[in-house]
Amino acid sequence: MIHPTALIDNKAQLGSGVSVGPYTIIHGNVIIGDDTDIGSHCEIGVPSALSGGAPLIIGKSSLIRSHSVFYEGSEFGEKLSTGHRVTVREQTKAGAGLQIGTLSDIQGHCTIGNYVKFHSNVHIGQHSSIGNYVWIFPYVVLTNDPHPPSNVMMGVTIEDFVAIATMSMILPGVTVKSGALVGAHSSVNKTVEPDTVVAGSPAKFICNTSAIKLKDGSGESAYPWRRHFHRGYPEAAVASWVAEFASAKDQRPD
């Protein structure tokens, strides 16, 4: 399970059932949970003065694909899953089930909730704060410097169930509130209200998310997406979402 060409420091703590691919390097200040698979050509636990000496902790049953780089000093819950060539710097703390797409870059000092999904080529600036069940699509950038270059850092805040569509950016210090949708190719420079859709550059209010209908012929609302999209979420979360909307339906007048 450990390829003979993998270079693993004696001090690294690997759980049972961990596999490590060819030509991968694992440094010493690393704790990897049981049954985690690490692909080829990775560098895991890169030493850094910015880590404060904290280890890199990867939860159990995770999958890190090839050519990825993780620094020491970050912590991930179980079932982390990455694409190829992801980069994660120091002092990020993420919950369970984080998905990081190919080429995505988490710059460090970020807080990330449970079951967040970053698609490919996403750039998460330092000091971003991200809730639970968030979706961030390709080529989205979360920024932090209000007048670059400066020493001021204003991370963005993304609340639960938000979806940020492809090639959008969130400007420094902005909050996107729970359940909101940022349309593709947008630049968001102020607070986005809960369960609303914004789009454009600068992004403007378009409608409430409930006004968007699924293009599958059902005539149902596409949002909140947790009503109809359950793939890859834990059973308990899905059960709570099903119950939430079943009871909403019961309360509708006929």
Sole window of 8-16, 51-59, 83-91, 237-245 interacting with its own copies (rule: CB under 8 A): 83-91
Structure tokens at 224: 């909140």
- Write the interaction track for its own copies spanning residues 105-134; mark x where CB under 8 A is met and - where it is not: x-x---------x--xx-x-----------
Q: Identify residues 184-223 at the interface with its own copies (CB under 8 A).
A: 184-185, 187, 200-201, 212, 214-216, 222-223
Of residues 10, 90, 82, 17, the one with CA closest to residue 56: 90
User: Which one, 100 or 254, has the nearer CB to its own copies?
Assistant: 100
Q: Which of 47, 146, 240, 244 binds its own copies (CB under 8 A)?
A: 146
Q: Does position 26 bind its own copies by CB under 8 A?
A: no
The smaller minimum CB distance to its own copies, of residues 141 and 251, is found at: 141
Collect all residues with Cβ–Cβ distance below 8 Å to 186 and sequence separation of at least 6: 165, 168, 169, 198, 199, 200, 201, 203
Q: DSSP state, 214?
A: P
The CB-of-253 to its own copies minimum distance in angstroms stands at 27
Q: How far apart are CB 123 and its own copies at their closest, in Å?
A: 5
Side chain identity, residue 44: I
**H/E run at residue 77:** none
Work out which of 1, 152, 207, 242 binds its own copies, going by CB under 8 A. 152
Task: Decide whether 152 or 242 has the Cβ nearer to its own copies.
Answer: 152
Helix (H) or strand (E) holding 87, with range, is strand 87-88
Cα 137 to Cα 7, 17, 105, 215, 241: the distances in Å are 34, 32, 13, 19, 22
Least separation in angstroms between residue 211's CB and its own copies is: 11
Q: How many binding residues for its own copies (CB under 8 A)?
A: 60
Cα–Cα–Cα angle for 102, 176, 228, nearest 5°? 70
CA geometry: angle at 150 spanning 148 and 156, to 5°?
Answer: 70
DSSP 174-197: -EE-TT-EEPTT-EE-SPBPTTEE
Give 79 or 117: the residue with its C-beta nearer to its own copies: 117
Contacts made by residues 240-249, CB under 8 angstroms, sequence distance 24+: none
> Cβ closer to its own copies: 143 or 250?
143
User: Rule CB under 8 A: is residue 141 a binding residue for its own copies?
Assistant: yes
Question: Where does this chain bind its own copies (CB under 8 A)?
Answer: 5, 7, 22-23, 25, 39-41, 43, 46, 66-67, 69, 83-85, 87, 102-103, 105, 107, 117, 120-121, 123, 135, 137-139, 141, 143, 146-152, 154, 163, 165-167, 169, 171, 184-185, 187, 200-201, 212, 214-216, 222-223, 225, 228-229, 231
